[in-house]
Amino acid sequence: MRKILLGAICAGSMVFAAASAHAETIIRVSLQLPKTHSLGQNWLEFQSLIEEKSDGELKLQLFDSAQLFKDKEVPEAVGSGAIEAGTAFLGRFTGAVPAVDVVAIPFIFEDEAHLRAAVASGSKMRSGLDAEILKETNVKVLWWQAFGRNIYLSNGNAIRTPEDMKNQKVRTYGKVHGWTVEALGGAPTLMSGSKQFLAYQQGAVDVGMTGASAVKSRKLYEVMDHMTLSYDSAIEFVAVMNNDFFEGLSAEHQAIIMEAAAVVEAKLRDAIYDQEAEAIAEVSQKMTAIELTDAERAEWVAATAGVIDRFVAEAGDAGVAAVEAVRAAAN
């Protein structure tokens, strides 16, 4: 009788545990940056929303600072289901969807309002790119994570005009950025963000391309003393989820996730330029910030005008559609 009772208790415990496990869905998230970064805070806000709205049935575990996967590994890791979700630089999807690099074309966005319209959820450009990413990689884009705008870093000498870029070895983080550097007369070197500090410190490259928040978070001001606020292209990341995992969720949980995604996307987009300005103000105490005059900017625009043609030739019809969608958003 005692054995039967113990067996019943164990069986009951197993049933309870199974029921609890079934009621609680764990979403593991890979992030290359620390939780303190704006993208990390963005995920934590998302976590708070979905856990509250689902009464704890949805649980999120954030593995920051590339604990599980590096940025370049995230598309495959999420697409294969090795992890449920993650953040990746949008340019990491160019192998499958070359048209995503449209946001890297220099000066394609006229101003902040134009950028906002082009990348807004439901916009022609956004809808097309998100659909292609899903089709080609089994990755569902939950929301776009604004990172800021591209700037250049240098040591010793300021960069003001394309002439200053000639024969300089430049750290880049995407193919189109490399074309931009070539158009400016420099030599591009593709390099992950985590390798920047050492590369600048050792003089492996002469010039850097990055975002203002990275200068602050990665302490790049310790190894570079000038930053040129060219703002020539947008830096966009995407919060993504394995589509099979998403489709396996209940309709209620799917709705909770997408509603929370819309909230945190808008919040980050609204805050990003203030955060960028704050980062620049802070690091300007440690390095010199160069703001281009209208005449200097015009030189950059003229020098890089051919990049868009190169992009269209590379990306084909999808690239043409993406460029047209960006241009239409300006109207």
pLDDT of amino acid 85: 98
13: pLDDT strictly greater than 90 = no
pLDDT in tens, 141-179: 999 999 999 999 999 999 999 999 999 999 999 999 999
The dihedral over CA atoms of 279, 283, 284, 285, expressed in degrees to the nearest 10, equals 130
Nearest to 86 by CA among 136, 167, 140: 140
Alpha carbon distance 257, 247 (integer Å): 12
pLDDT of amino acid 194: 83
Amino acid identity for residue 105 in this structure: I
pLDDT in tens, 238-251: 999 999 999 999 99
DSSP structural state of residue 24: -
pLDDT of amino acid 6: 37
Question: Can you read off the two tokens belonging to residue 145?
Answer: 């994570």
pLDDT of amino acid 316: 92
Characterize the bridge pairing of strands 207-211 and 169-172: parallel
**H/E segment holding residue 189:** strand 187-190
What domains lie within the chain, and their CATH numbers? 24-329 (3.40.190.170)
pLDDT of amino acid 273: 86
7 pLDDT band, cuts 50/70/90, is very low
Alpha carbon distance 139, 245 (integer Å): 10
Report, as an integer, the average pLDDT of 255-259. 98
- Go through 87-109 and write b for each residue having 16 or more CB atoms within 10 A of its CB, e for each that does not: bbbbbbbbebbbbbbbbbbbbbb
| Residues forming a β-bridge with 28 | 61
135 pLDDT band, cuts 50/70/90, is very high
**SS3 assignment, position 9:** helix
Alpha helices in the chain (DSSP H): 2-23, 38-53, 74-80, 112-119, 124-137, 175-183, 196-202, 212-217, 243-247, 251-283, 294-303, 307-329
pLDDT of amino acid 10: 41
pLDDT over 70 percentage in the chain: 93
Report, as an integer, the average pLDDT of 297-308. 97
pLDDT in tens, 78-119: 999 999 999 999 999 999 999 999 999 999 999 889 999 999
Neighbours of 14 (CB within 10 A): 10
**Lowest-confidence pick of 23-37, 51-65, 177-191, 245-259:** 23-37
Query: Which residue's structure tokens are 């990049």?
Result: 307
CB 140 within 8 A of CB 241: yes
27: pLDDT strictly greater than 70 = yes
Question: Can you read off the two tokens belonging to residue 42?
Answer: 């963005």
Report, as an integer, the average pLDDT of 16-39. 77
**SS3 assignment, position 96:** coil
pLDDT of amino acid 169: 98
Alpha carbon distance 275, 147 (integer Å): 10
Mean pLDDT for all residues in the chain: 92
